[in-house]
Amino acid sequence: MNENTHINEHGRPICRNGSMKGQGDLNGKDFHTKIKGADTLTGITTTGTPHLGNYVGAIRPAIESSMEEGKTSYYFLADYHAIIKCQNPARIRRSALEVAATWIAMGLDTDKAVFYRQSDIPEIPELTWILTCITAKGLMNRAHAYKAAVAENQEAGRKDLDIDKDITMGLFSYPILMAADILMFNARKVPVGRDQIQHIEMTRDIAGRFNHLYGEHFVLPEAVVDDKMAVLSGLDGRKMSKSYNNTIPLFESENRLRKLIMKIKTNSQEPGEPKNPAGCTLFAIYRAFASPGEIVEMERRYAEGIAWGVMKQELFEYLNGILKGPRETYCKLMEAPEDMDDVLKKGAQRAREYSAPFLAKLRRAVGIESLG
């Protein structure tokens, strides 16, 4: 914010003359911001430690996308989403620090991308309530997470009146919070996995309903699904996930990284026996980081019967060589949480140059404004 701007009593940036700050116009209707909305937007839940699968599947492609000229990318720590399932304050705080440090250590340019913490944007929970008031309960009844929780209760033999046992309103209505995350910045594209397409469809439904009631305010976001995105397996051969406790954290120490790679499950084929790289966890991890030429060479060595012990050692050395520099940066960032906090707050300040005037516009649209 510049010297001609201050924060009003509601925490919203305004110009000295009392008008909402900014330049430009999204819809040509009383809405001005200095920063443009999100060309692409991604949220990261702060409940776990980033691992190799997170990096290959989400972090790396997001950072690469943020470097494109003319594109405005928004990335945020979804700490309000985190408290839906995690009631461990220390874990959420630690995860927020780990996630922020990971993205920066792996090359995110926070001067170019808008990088912020969800809880530092007060307009998001306010928009969540506004959207809640026009969202049909039936739409939330169809959410995958809610239906899965109900199914678990039914499988446990609970009676009809008990099918919602232990299901919180956070779990039931979180698709609305997700919609607010996206619509707050009129995100045009949202990269998701196939299992999250429903969230974007719900967001479009909610945005469409609001636009029908109050006029055209929201862009209908588009889900971006990359079918070529690598999905890594974990130590036990299942999808790498903290839920399975089979992850390889991105910035483990060298000794710990080697021990974890040595634990990766393989078949019983002997050294010298030709091996099929398809379906091999070791090869899949190697392929996610290697160049095309290196991949071809490793396929040849599989055909010649590379020993599993040799492959594990070479995979460790290869990954360690890539991660050594970023690991050093990460460790320094983890020791400076105040610096990480400053980065996130500066990102939130930039994000609010869009969200604050936009929410003021939405408030007026629904009839919440000064009576004078």
What pLDDT was estimated at residue 9? 42
What pLDDT was estimated at residue 194? 85
What pLDDT was estimated at residue 14? 44
One-letter amino acid at 162 equals D
What pLDDT was estimated at residue 215? 97
Domains of the chain: 5-231+337-366 (3.40.50.620), 251-332 (1.10.240.10)
Residues 6+ apart with CB under 8 A from 246: 234, 235, 236, 238, 240
Angle ∠(60,204,206) on CA atoms, nearest 5: 125
* CA gap 79, 196 in Å, rounded: 18
What pLDDT was estimated at residue 231? 85
Task: Count the alpha carbons within 13 Å of 241 in the hemisphere toward its beta carbon.
Answer: 6
41: part of which helix (H) or strand (E)? strand 40-45
Query: DSSP H helical segments within 184-232, as ranges?
Result: 197-214
What pLDDT was estimated at residue 156? 84
Tens of each residue's pLDDT in the chain, 372 residues: 444 444 444 444 444 333 333 333 443 345 677 789 999 999 999 999 999 999 999 999 999 999 999 999 999 999 999 999 999 999 999 999 999 999 999 999 999 999 999 999 999 999 999 999 999 999 999 999 999 999 999 888 876 668 899 999 999 999 999 999 999 999 999 999 888 899 999 999 999 999 999 999 999 999 999 877 778 999 999 999 988 999 999 999 999 999 999 999 999 999 999 999 998 999 999 999 999 999 999 999 999 999 999 999 999 999 999 999 999 999 999 999 999 999 999 999 999 999 999 999 999 999 999 898
What pLDDT was estimated at residue 314? 97
